[in-house]
Chains A and B, each alone.
Chain A
């Protein structure tokens, strides 16, 4: 990547010190990890996330980080070692994808239940069967109720920025929950893009050092981590998890703003694109937002009030914000890159319908399950969605509540 690096000399303010680099999403996340310099990384390779740990291993081999790298024998052990290391008092990161995240599933709940701020890069890939290595969001969605904060990225720049912010969000004393930052497999993980990289010192100062109040290595104050709760305490302990999840929203906004000060790139819970006066709104997660923006531009030129709502934070889900943004629109199309297999479209659709339940001015809404197993979603498909939304807008009628987009029936 170094050849492609040039100083962004034209920029002013916080952007002045940034290097413009040509990086893939995996390289950008590995770069963020290098700058964060975690105490421990325990990881197991899996396509398409392999490069993250491979590149990071090089940083370890070259002495560019202080990290103890634990090359475990499975993702289950990766998350188990992360839990041990984080409980010990270390700053801990890992990365995985699809089957790897699925194998971690048991431990994801335990990481959250033990309030350990582990940060995980999840490179979105379809879950088996059939086995497939390409992008969809079924892996992240499988962990959506685990107590992890989930932040989606549209491109390599966001993956880089989100990884850095995730450390601060997860470790915030009001939060203390693990966080996963996602990016679309291959589309982002392997696609080279222009990424603005902040200086190492700026990142190290931004993330600071992690010094938890309670740690296993405090041998003078021995504590028991992970005791057994019966009917008398389990409920109270699980109830406590709702507090940091509720507070996380504010913290995410605060850190997003603070990150804006050092980078010129502020972050919120979502991003609206030509949304304010939009009558026809598409809601989605991840890299498809880039394609959708160009379709919105085309439609705007043609006089259609189209807009895009890209959700950045899926957990905690911004229910109130979504309701406020979507009510009163002529038609809302939801694009789910995973199927809920519950009988009513994908998980994003369910959340949004729930968000709008109290709204007096509920928009007609339709779900499009798309892009499973890396099926390409180009402008033509998104255009097709908007065409249907225009039709729905005219009649106010949604004939079928969900459908599959871009599949041979």
Chain B
């Protein structure tokens, strides 16, 4: 458990003045990581929003060693840094205790960087990979990704006479990482700061590869007022569209269970990207979405050994 008082006393290692949009959740996640860590961190970042907004030469927000090389290879790049660290330490050429973290958006993680991530996790580098998942390629202007949820309107899944947003459900990347058999995998949200920072600390303490998938609401791509970022994260979790859980050595544990599981409509209604779900002719979409969320939640409950409650019937929107 993280203690807010202690965290507030930690030096600021991800500083303000970056160019992220007002209400962007990615810098919040970066700051949380910096507060979570007790050791020096070397941070790598895939090309994407977090990278371009935090390292605009000659400025940098990173008051910690940072490297960006390309889009699809944050995991491979940091695995190289970690390999150098292991080698130099073994040879007695370096004596500090350092932790290694790679950041990628859902583009750099779910899609173009999946191979690099999979390779690094399988090789067993001691590194934490954090996906700040804002559910589309936001840096290039809101194109669909493997993380984009069903029905979402993006610039490559536009709504038109025939188009109704993304046709597919999102890929379950967290499950893919669990399937790697790595010691620590989790899903988090910046809206549940204590839950997320605790997970980051556990991951950094893991002697091996670890992965945290963080839902990062994007006010630009999801289209909501900037002051509602944290509220959007809360809704995602409380509707079970983004459950918070961790998998330690293969054991599932739901780290936060909503007292009352809200209908997913409450979450979707807040985002302009889903507005067509509530228009005449698209009444079939909301139940599809809800069914998908329910099925995933029930699968998670089963994996965590929890009882499955009866489903609420969904009225067509």
Contacts and interface: CB of A to CB of B under 8 A. Distances in A.
A130 interface: no
A77 B76 contact: yes
Contact of A222 (B64, B80, B123): B64
Interface stretch (B53-61, B214-222, B246-254): B53-61
A241 B22 CA distance: 37
Contacts of A84: 44, 67, 69, 76-84
Interface residues of B, number: 47
25 contacts: A39-B88, A66-B90, A72-B79, A73-B118, A77-B73, A77-B79, A83-B69, A84-B84, A85-B87, A86-B84, A87-B81, A107-B69, A216-B42, A217-B65, A217-B84, A217-B88, A219-B65, A222-B63, A224-B55, A224-B62, A224-B68, A226-B55, A226-B69, A227-B56, A227-B58
Interface pairs A-B: 3 shortest CB-CB: A84-B80, A81-B80, A73-B119
B197 to A, nearest CB: 21
Interface residues of A, number: 43
Contacts of A85: 80-81, 83-84, 87
A192 interface: no
B52 interface: yes
Contacts of B76: 72, 76-77, 80-81, 84
Interface string A80-98: 1111111111101000000
A262 to B, nearest CB: 24
Contacts, number: 168
Contact of B40 (A40, A70, A114, A219): A219
Contacts of A87: 67, 80-81
Given A88-B84, A230-B57, 4 more contacts: A76-B116, A82-B80, A89-B88, A224-B67
A276 interface: no
Nearest to B119: A73
A205 interface: no
Contacts of A233: 57-58
Contacts of A81: 76-77, 79-80, 83
A88 B168 CA distance: 41
Interface string B22-43: 0000000000000000001010
Contacts of A90: 83-84, 87-88
Given A73-B118, A77-B73, A84-B78, A39 B67 contact: no
